[in-house]
């Protein structure tokens, strides 16, 4: 079967997106998805996303990591699939869709997609790091000289180490640039490498930095390897609500490939 795919990127976190409203894709073909995401043997991407029909919302997002396994929520992928839904004519500038972690609202303004994330009620705070789930699990740790930091080796050690073990966690290294601005580099679980950006990751960083009083602002800028994102939120008694991840999402190219 010939499959039409669309390659999208959001601050350098890149995805293969396929319109699967006709259910033509075999969703359990882990090896095939891994090969398509491979940067030498395939199209190349950090993740693979299916857009499917949903009875109660505009569409459903099904997300796979580059290793071919279905995973938890992807924030940048969520912003990219919203841009794709608009490209398909499924939505205009506002939408509600369903993903693995629940309902998401989103808004589009030119190239910028704002994605509402789930409320966060728990941030575990340790001496040198925080751990929280923003749709995907994230370890957040402050470092100095982030541009020279060995993200891949140090990230892998934390991702596979205790207490995360085989299930793992994404790992974000952070350096403060201003009162409301941080630089973030992320080791992504399922890609098993540093990616140029991670949407659930910068969301976790913004909330963790607020929780630990590194910032008082509820509008936080995050510099990532592939550009800049913003996270806005409201602080409540037991956590954070009205969390929005904001940044660009772009169609890079369209193609056809044997599935
Ligand atoms: N790139 C993502 C996160 C994707 C999921 C992650 N790799 C995991 O398995 O937890 C994002 O933008 O949020």
71 and 172 together in one domain = no
78 and 164 together in one domain = no
175 and 101 together in one domain = no
Q: Is residue 114 part of a domain?
A: no
Banded pLDDT at 211 (limits 50, 70, 90): very high
Q: Among 47, 67, 186, which residue has the most ligand 1 atoms within 8 Å of its CB, making it the best to mutate?
A: 47
233 and 254 together in one domain = no
Sign of CA dihedral 17, 203, 96, 228: negative
Q: pTM of this prediction?
A: 0.97
Q: List phi, psi (to 5°) of 250.
A: -135, 135
131 and 68 together in one domain = no
7 and 92 together in one domain = yes
| Residue 80 annotated to the active site | no
Q: Which domain holds residue 51?
A: 2-108+249-258
Q: Residue 42 has what pLDDT?
A: 98
Q: Is residue 68 part of a domain?
A: yes
pLDDT at residue 20 tops 90: yes
Give the pair of three-digit tokens for residue 132: 């929280």
pLDDT at residue 144 tops 90: yes
Strand bridging mode 227-236 / 239-248: antiparallel
CATH number (domain holding residue 29): 3.10.310.10
Name the closest-CA residue to atom 10, ligand 1: 136
Question: What's the CA dihedral at 57, 199, 134, 90 to 10 degrees?
Answer: 0
Give the pair of three-digit tokens for residue 42: 């395939």
150 and 127 together in one domain = yes
Q: Residue 124 has what pLDDT?
A: 98
The pLDDT mean for the chain works out to 98
Percentage above 70 pLDDT, the chain = 100
pLDDT at residue 10 tops 90: yes
What's the number of domains the chain is made of? 2
pLDDT at residue 238 tops 90: no
SS3 228: strand
Per-residue pLDDT reduced to its tens digit, 78-111 = 999 999 999 999 999 999 999 999 999 999 999 9
Name the closest-CA residue to atom 5, ligand 1: 74
Cα 259 to chain centroid, rounded: 25
Q: Which of 25, 62, 198, 208 is catalytic?
A: 198
Rounded CA separation 143/173 (Å): 6
SS3 221: strand
234 and 128 together in one domain = yes
Place of tokens 């950090």: 46
26 and 103 together in one domain = yes
Gap between the terminal Cα atoms of the chain: 6
């Amino acid at each position: 079967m010939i499959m039409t795919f669309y390659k999208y990127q959001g601050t350098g976190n890149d995805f293969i997106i396929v319109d699967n409203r006709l259910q033509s894709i075999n969703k359990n073909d882990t090896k095939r998805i891994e090969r398509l995401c491979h940067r030498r043997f395939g199209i190349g991407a950090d993740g693979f996303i299916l857009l499917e029909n949903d009875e109660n919302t505009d569409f459903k997002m099904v997300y796979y990591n580059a290793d071919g396994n279905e995973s938890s929520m992807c924030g940048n992928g969520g912003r990219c699939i919203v841009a794709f839904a608009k490209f398909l004519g499924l939505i205009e500038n506002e939408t509600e869709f369903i993903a693995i972690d629940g309902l998401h609202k989103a808004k589009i303004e030119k190239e910028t997609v704002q994605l509402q994330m789930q409320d966060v009620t728990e941030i575990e705070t340790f001496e040198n790091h925080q751990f929280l789930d923003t749709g995907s699990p994230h370890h957040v740790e402050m470092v100095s000289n982030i541009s020279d930091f060995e993200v891949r080796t140090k990230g892998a050690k934390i991702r596979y180490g205790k207490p995360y073990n085989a299930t793992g966690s994404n790992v974000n290294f952070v350096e403060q640039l201003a009162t409301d601005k941080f630089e973030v580099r992320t080791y992504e679980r399922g890609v098993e490498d540093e990616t140029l950006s991670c949407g659930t990751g910068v969301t976790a960083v913004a909330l963790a930095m607020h929780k630990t009083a590194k910032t008082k602002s509820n509008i936080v800028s995050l510099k990532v390897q592939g550009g800049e994102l913003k996270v806005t939120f409201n602080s409540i008694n037991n956590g954070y609500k009205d969390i929005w991840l904001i940044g660009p999402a772009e169609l890079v190219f369209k193609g056809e490939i044997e599935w």
